[in-house]
Structure 1
Amino acid sequence: MHVMPLLLLIAGSTAVAGLARRTPVPAPLLLVTAGLLVSYLPGMPAFELNPEIVLPLVLPPLLYTAATDSSYLDLRAQKRPVALLSVGYVLFSTLLVGLIVHTFVPGLSAAGALVLAAVIAPPDAVAATAIARRLRLPARVTTILQGESLVNDATAITAYKVALAAAVGESIGWLGGGLEFLIASVGGVGVGLALMVPLHWLRTRLNDALLQNTLSLVIPFFAYALAEQVHASGVLAVVVVALYLGHRSWQVDFATRLQEGAVWRMVAFVLESAVFALIGLQLPVVVGDLGDEYAAGQLAWYALALFVTVVLIRFVWVYPSAFVPRLLSRRIREREENPTWKGAFIISWAGMRGVVSLAIAFSIPATVHDGEEFPGRNLILFLTFTTVIGTLVVQGLTLPPLIRAFRLPGRDVQAETLVEANAQAQASRAAEERLDELTADERNALPPPLADRLRRVMERRRNSVWERLGSPNPVTGENTDDTYRRLAREVIAAERDVFVRLRDARYIDDEMLRTLLLRLDLEEAAAFREEQGT
């Protein structure tokens, strides 16, 4: 891909994603639709998806940012349903979809059908969880979807490699396939475990936010490449490292956390926007490779049958895996929250496929070992494309209204605020006790106004959460804390205007302006993050 088409892709996709944030339409759906419409514009360059770029260069940072934003403790609490979906469902779907596809697509061999099934087995790592967060699904459902998306790519890629070996003439067998899967999964986890502690130690020793964030940008690529180098799962290596670093992020300094959060939000936004737009832009490539091998009606039937099969098989797996273990095990009934049929339905319907499936499909070799063309490769590409588009459009478009129609119990904001207030009160008491200990020492003596200022800051933090539980302003609808933050930001804006005016009058220089603005920016950032609940 040349520089100008790449710049057009990034600029166009980020513009569409920015527009999606102002509409009720999920960003992945709008991006894919825009890609489809733009793909046939006159003069539009061909954007052929290159698996050698997507898998090692796009997938690791997306997995890393998703894993660091996830909760290790929540995922551990839901490890059984996550494992059943990320491993059990992917393998079940690969085998059953492969068997069914082999029956209604007569020109596709059993091995080719398994390759196709493995390619389309993993739901997308971004689309469903983005919708889940936007619509504030119950925490358990969101955690399960996040956990599935972090691990299922590793399962699918390994299953694909096994099926591909059989398709190209390598005699691998069931035992060999199982052994390869075990090596890839255990090896990937092992590489992640080996890297996570040294990398965290290095992050905490650098003492420079710029260096720490540079290391943060390198980590997912390094973990993925190292694991793949030893024939282990790069996906699992990245996820293990990211979960550990995210869980221990409190041990790095505040400047690193501020920069890291902003950097990774930007990286994820650009990559997610580009990959979804890239999905839609694959239409000319896929159709062009297909040629005149199949009639239009035949292709439509294959695509529709595969889409329905993929959707139904997820229901076939999710409902028994959600309810049968509870019937068989009293321990599960005692320890785990009781699933509901509505939650299981949402998890079943949130099986949208994405760019990883297309990247794997494009990595299918053109020939087998004897030099002949890979049987059905173009058809596999086409059916992968239609399945990805079908699930993104149909399920992506209907999932938000479905969630609203089910009226699933969302997060209890009042209860969460009460818990936050109690936690802040405990922290404030500890801080006040520590301040009293420090100021009792002559070496830490402070003038009374400065000591009082520290106490007022702690008191403000403690009271701000309780104020959110108070009655709203009858005129504006704001609670006391909201009004305080809004006025504080207006005051900060007034100070900022004065600093700029003094710089323009040459009373202060630009370096001093940047120092003064940084102080104001940190104060405003703290208020904004509280206001957004992040």
Structure 2
Amino acid sequence: MALFESMILLSLLAVVLLRLSRHFALPYPTILAAAGTAVAALPWAPHIAMDPKLALVLFIAPVLLDAGFDMPPRTLRRFWLPTVSLAVVAVIFTTAAVAWLGVAWAGMPLAAAVAMGAIVAPPDAGAATAMLSRLNLPRRTVQVLTAESLLNDASALLIFGVAVRTALAPDGLAHTLPLLVLAVPGGLLLGWLLGRVFIYFSRELRGTLSATLLQFAGVFGVWLIAEYLHVSAILCVVSFAMTIAHVLPGETPPRDRVHAYSVWAAVVFISNVIAFLLVGLQARTIIARMQGPALEHALWFALATLGVCIAVRFAWVMLYNGTLRRFRKSQPNPTPQQGLVVAWCGMRGLVTLATALGLPDAFPQRDLIVLTAFGVTVGTLVFQGTTLAWLVRYLKFGTDTSLRDDASKVRLELIDVAEATLVGESDEAARRAREYYEDARHEAEAGRSPVAGTRLSELKRIGLKAKRKRLLEMRHKGEIEDDVFHLLENELDWSELAVTSPDEREIVEG
């Protein structure tokens, strides 16, 4: 009951404060960090504990599913160098620097220090890109940050898992490495197999609420099965997500996709609310247990870790950008202004909080690690999150219309495809459909998205089916970028729903 009451209070605070996030162009986790800290500071705030294994599966599995589902191999191949630089190299450097600090300052065992480094290493780039989409930024910068957000969590969690097992194993790394050799390929193979099974049952449950239940059972069940079989649950979920992402987008009806996206957006948001509340309450309990010099030492250590995380990312991004401009002059390179923005998008979020909660109770210096993780998360969200919009405005980037231009070109081609379905049709409904496509053509030529009788609706549905088929072909052949695909897929979904009868839009129970 105490957890439920605290969640309601935090949710009400978040509703009020999230209005400020849009007004001041702040990432919403920044507001949740403030709200979670405020609720945890209340004198009557309860002490709430959570099973570490439950915390990992509850918070991490949906994040990995979302990342794996949206991980387009073609985009990753195009941006492989900056993606590896940010999602792998920067994570490793940050982990190493924080681990050194933990050993040198706090006297942590090496494996425990590495686990702490992996906890605070991955930025919540998704929060940054959600806000940056409302600001004036080059499209390439947003694409690189999006690609980073797809991989940095997985790389950090792999390091975290190895470090935790090593810290708790009697013979350390000698026990962990042989298991890892089997766990990595085993997780990938298991994820692929479970993905094929999921696709089969998804086809049988289209248009039902049972399909949503299957999604929840799928993402959490995949993690639990992997844990039971002692393979990598992280790679298993990523492999599972990439397997279903290769097939389901072309088969999923618009009503199912719109419904699923809405449900999962709410789930991710509620997960953020719960994670900030739980870690804030744990931080309060830890602070209450520490007194005098011990508390002062812990707070200074958390502040130093925050500084290391910011400094390492800033130094690595600027070094990487400078090296590219110096030695790769024949290709377009990121500007210093783009580098500054990418370096400043280092806000930590849900993954850092969830992995901190996932530390076993007997883990060496767990209290200090959890307090540090909470301090780094709140510190980066407040310090970097509140200044990111100001930095973007100060740098005065030129207007990048490439996404709008590319989308307009594809819209025109899709209109041609839809109009071709009217060949041989000469009745009044066909005439009105041609007028509709002509209006849509004028809107597309102006760089705007089109605004969406029984016979006319039928002709429109036939045209939309042809559009969707061509759009999927263009994506599979690499003729369009994935951001253009998702933008137009969303437009087609809502256009199709607009010409679908209420009975056909209804999602039944099973």
Q: Which TM-score band (shorter chain)? A: 0.7 to 0.9
For residue 258 of structure 2, what is the amino acid of its counterpart? Answer: L
- Corresponding residue of 2:287: 287
TM-score of the pair, normalised by structure 2 = 0.77
Tell whether the 8 Å contact from 2:32 to 2:272 is kept in structure 1 after alignment.
Answer: no
- Corresponding residue of 1:523: 498
- Corresponding residue of 2:135: 135
- Corresponding residue of 1:39: 40
User: Pick from 364, 374, 393: which aligns with 2:382?
Assistant: 393
Tell whether the 8 Å contact from 1:158 to 1:181 is kept in structure 2 after alignment.
Answer: no
| Cα distance per residue 1:448-485 (max 9 Å; x no partner) | 2222233333333333322446xxxxxxxxxxx89x78
Q: Are positions 1:458 and 2:437 aligned together?
A: yes
| Cα distance per residue 1:58-77 (max 9 Å; x no partner) | 22223334554565532332
1:83-162 aligned at under 5 Å gives the runs 83-105=84-106, 107-124=107-124, 126-162=126-162
Task: Mark the CA change 1:186 to 1:28 in structure 2 (over 3 Å): closer, same or farther.
Answer: same
- Corresponding residue of 1:221: 220
- Corresponding residue of 1:310: 309
For residue 356 of structure 1, what is the amino acid of its counterpart? Answer: V
Tell whether the 8 Å contact from 1:49 to 1:359 is kept in structure 2 after alignment.
Answer: no
- Corresponding residue of 1:505: none
| Cα distance per residue 1:204-253 (max 9 Å; x no partner) | 45443544444334332233333333333333333344345445513322
Of 7-16 and 96-105, the range deviating more from structure 2:
7-16
Helix, strand or coil for the counterpart of 1:134?
Answer: coil
For residue 74 of structure 2, what is the amino acid of its counterpart? Answer: L
d(CA) in 1 for partners of 2:394 and 2:179? Answer: 44
- Corresponding residue of 2:488: none
- Corresponding residue of 1:52: 53
| Cα distance per residue 1:301-336 (max 9 Å; x no partner) | 3222222122212233333444546766x7xx76x6
Task: Mark the CA change 1:203 to 1:73 in structure 2 (over 3 Å): closer, same or farther.
Answer: farther
d(CA) in 1 for partners of 2:404 and 2:358? Answer: 49
- Corresponding residue of 1:78: 79
1:254-273 aligned at under 5 Å gives the runs 254-273=254-273
For residue 310 of structure 1, what is the amino acid of its counterpart? Answer: C
Tell whether the 8 Å contact from 2:7 to 2:277 is kept in structure 1 after alignment.
Answer: no
d(CA) in 2 for partners of 1:389 and 1:170? Answer: 35
Q: How far off its partner does 1:56 sit? A: 0.6
For residue 402 of structure 1, what is the amino acid of its counterpart? Answer: L
Tell whether the 8 Å contact from 2:56 to 2:358 is kept in structure 1 after alignment.
Answer: no
d(CA) in 2 for partners of 1:227 and 1:315? Answer: 36
Q: How far off its partner does 1:432 sit? A: 2.3
Q: How far off its partner does 1:32 sit? A: 0.9
Q: How far off its partner does 1:193 sit? A: 3.2
TM-score of the pair, normalised by structure 1 = 0.74
Q: Are positions 1:428 and 2:415 aligned together?
A: yes
For residue 100 of structure 2, what is the amino acid of its counterpart? Answer: L
Helix, strand or coil for the counterpart of 1:436?
Answer: coil
Q: How far off its partner does 1:402 sit? A: 1.5
Task: Mark the CA change 1:120 to 1:337 in structure 2 (over 3 Å): closer, same or farther.
Answer: same
| Cα distance per residue 1:346-397 (max 9 Å; x no partner) | 2222222223323333443344xxxxxx543322222222222222221222
Task: Mark the CA change 1:183 to 1:127 in structure 2 (over 3 Å): closer, same or farther.
Answer: farther
Q: Which runs of 5+ in 2 are unaligned?
A: 453-493, 501-510
Q: Which runs of 5+ in 1 are unaligned?
A: 368-373, 440-446, 470-480, 486-518, 526-534
d(CA) in 2 for partners of 1:50 and 1:124? Answer: 24
d(CA) in 2 for partners of 1:11 and 1:265? Answer: 15
Q: How far off its partner does 1:299 sit? A: 3.2
For residue 41 of structure 2, what is the amino acid of its counterpart? Answer: Y
Tell whether the 8 Å contact from 2:141 to 2:338 is kept in structure 1 after alignment.
Answer: yes
d(CA) in 2 for partners of 1:133 and 1:67? Answer: 21
Tell whether the 8 Å contact from 1:32 to 1:279 is kept in structure 2 after alignment.
Answer: no
1:373-412 aligned at under 5 Å gives the runs 375-409=364-398, 411-412=400-401
- Corresponding residue of 1:532: none
Tell whether the 8 Å contact from 2:70 to 2:245 is kept in structure 1 after alignment.
Answer: yes
Tell whether the 8 Å contact from 1:279 to 1:355 is kept in structure 2 after alignment.
Answer: no
Percent identity at matched positions?
Answer: 30
Task: Mark the CA change 1:273 to 1:165 in structure 2 (over 3 Å): closer, same or farther.
Answer: closer
- Corresponding residue of 1:234: 233
Task: Mark the CA change 1:418 to 1:388 in structure 2 (over 3 Å): closer, same or farther.
Answer: closer
d(CA) in 2 for partners of 1:383 and 1:285? Answer: 14
d(CA) in 2 for partners of 1:184 and 1:343? Answer: 38
Tell whether the 8 Å contact from 1:35 to 1:277 is kept in structure 2 after alignment.
Answer: yes
Helix, strand or coil for the counterpart of 2:99?
Answer: helix
Q: CA RMSD in A?
A: 3.5
Of 163-172 and 90-99, the range deviating more from structure 2:
163-172
Of 128-137 and 385-394, the range deviating more from structure 2:
128-137
1:301-450 aligned at under 5 Å gives the runs 301-324=300-323, 337-367=332-362, 375-409=364-398, 411-412=400-401, 415-436=402-423, 439=425, 448-450=427-429
Q: How far off its partner does 1:188 sit? A: 3.6
Task: Mark the CA change 1:132 to 1:239 in structure 2 (over 3 Å): closer, same or farther.
Answer: farther
Task: Mark the CA change 1:148 to 1:231 in structure 2 (over 3 Å): closer, same or farther.
Answer: farther
| Cα distance per residue 1:44-67 (max 9 Å; x no partner) | 323445533332122222333455
d(CA) in 2 for partners of 1:179 and 1:337? Answer: 43
Tell whether the 8 Å contact from 1:98 to 1:110 is kept in structure 2 after alignment.
Answer: yes
Task: Mark the CA change 1:155 to 1:66 in structure 2 (over 3 Å): closer, same or farther.
Answer: closer
d(CA) in 2 for partners of 1:232 and 1:279? Answer: 28
| Cα distance per residue 1:425-468 (max 9 Å; x no partner) | 2222222222215x4xxxxxxx8222223333333333332244
Tell whether the 8 Å contact from 1:14 to 1:270 is kept in structure 2 after alignment.
Answer: no
Task: Mark the CA change 1:136 to 1:5 in structure 2 (over 3 Å): closer, same or farther.
Answer: farther
d(CA) in 1 for partners of 2:110 and 2:268? Answer: 38
Task: Mark the CA change 1:138 to 1:17 in structure 2 (over 3 Å): closer, same or farther.
Answer: farther
- Corresponding residue of 2:455: none
Task: Mark the CA change 1:231 to 1:397 in structure 2 (over 3 Å): closer, same or farther.
Answer: farther
Tell whether the 8 Å contact from 1:189 to 1:236 is kept in structure 2 after alignment.
Answer: yes
Q: Which has the larger radius of gyration?
A: 1
Helix, strand or coil for the counterpart of 1:397?
Answer: coil
Q: How far off its partner does 1:33 sit? A: 0.9
